[in-house]
Chain A
Amino acid sequence: MRGLSKLLVVCFGLLLAGCATDPNGANDPYEQTNRSVFDFDQKLDKYVISPSASAYVAVVPTPARTSIHNFLLNLDLPVTFVNDVLQGEVDRAGDTLGRLAINSTLGIGGLFDPATDFNIPYHKEDFGQTLGTWGVGEGPYLVLPFLGPDPPRDAAGQVVDIFFDPTTYVSIRSHIWYSAGRRYMSVVDLKSRNFDTLQNIERGSVDYYASVRSLYRQLRNNEIRNGRPDVQNLPDL
Chain B
Amino acid sequence: MELRSAVARLLAALAFLCIVGLTGAQAATPAESFIQENAQKGLTILKDASLSRDAKHAQFQSFLESLIDIHRIALFTLGPAAKSAPPADVDAFAEAFRSYAAAVYQEQFAHYSGETLKVTGSVERAPGDFVVRTAVLEPNGSLSANAPEVDFRVSNTGGTLQVIDASVMGIGLSLQQRDQFTAFLARHNNDVKALTADLLVRAGNIRNGGSPSGN
Report the separation of the CA atoms of residues A205 and B215 in the bound assembly, to the nearest whole angstrom. 12
What is the chain A residue whose CB lies nearest that of B130?
A231
Interface footprint category on B? 35 or more
- A43 contacts the other chain (Cβ, under 8 Å)? no
- B171 contacts the other chain (Cβ, under 8 Å)? yes
Q: A193-B4, A234-B153, A237-B73 are in contact. Are A219 and B180 (CB under 8 A)?
A: no
Report the separation of the CA atoms of residues A197 and B186 in the bound assembly, to the nearest whole angstrom. 27
- B61 contacts the other chain (Cβ, under 8 Å)? no
- A223 contacts the other chain (Cβ, under 8 Å)? yes
Interface of A is mostly: helix
Q: A214-B175, A214-B179 are in contact. Are A200 and B184 (CB under 8 A)?
A: no
Q: In the bound complex, do residue B164 and residue A237 qualify as a contact, i.e. CB atoms below 8 Å apart?
A: yes
- A211 contacts the other chain (Cβ, under 8 Å)? yes
CB distance from B64 to the nearest CB of A (A): 17
Among B7, B125, B179, B195, the most chain A Cβ lie within 10 Å of the Cβ of B179
Report the separation of the CA atoms of residues A121 and B143 in the bound assembly, to the nearest whole angstrom. 13
Interface footprint category on A? 35 or more
Q: In the bound complex, do residue A215 and residue B7 qualify as a contact, i.e. CB atoms below 8 Å apart?
A: yes
Residues of chain B from 1 to 33 with CB closer than 8 A to chain A in the complex: 1-4, 6-8, 11
What is the chain A residue whose CB lies nearest that of B206?
A204
- A20 contacts the other chain (Cβ, under 8 Å)? no
Q: In the bound complex, do residue B123 and residue A207 qualify as a contact, i.e. CB atoms below 8 Å apart?
A: no
CB distance from B80 to the nearest CB of A (A): 9
- A222 contacts the other chain (Cβ, under 8 Å)? yes
What would 6 more interface pairs be, CB under 8 Å, given A200-B11, A219-B3? Answer: A116-B145, A197-B8, A203-B211, A209-B183, A227-B170, A231-B131
Which A residues are within 8 Å of any B CB, using their own CB?
24-26, 116, 121-122, 124, 190, 193-194, 196-198, 200-201, 203-207, 209-211, 213-215, 218-219, 221-223, 225, 227, 229-232, 234-235, 237
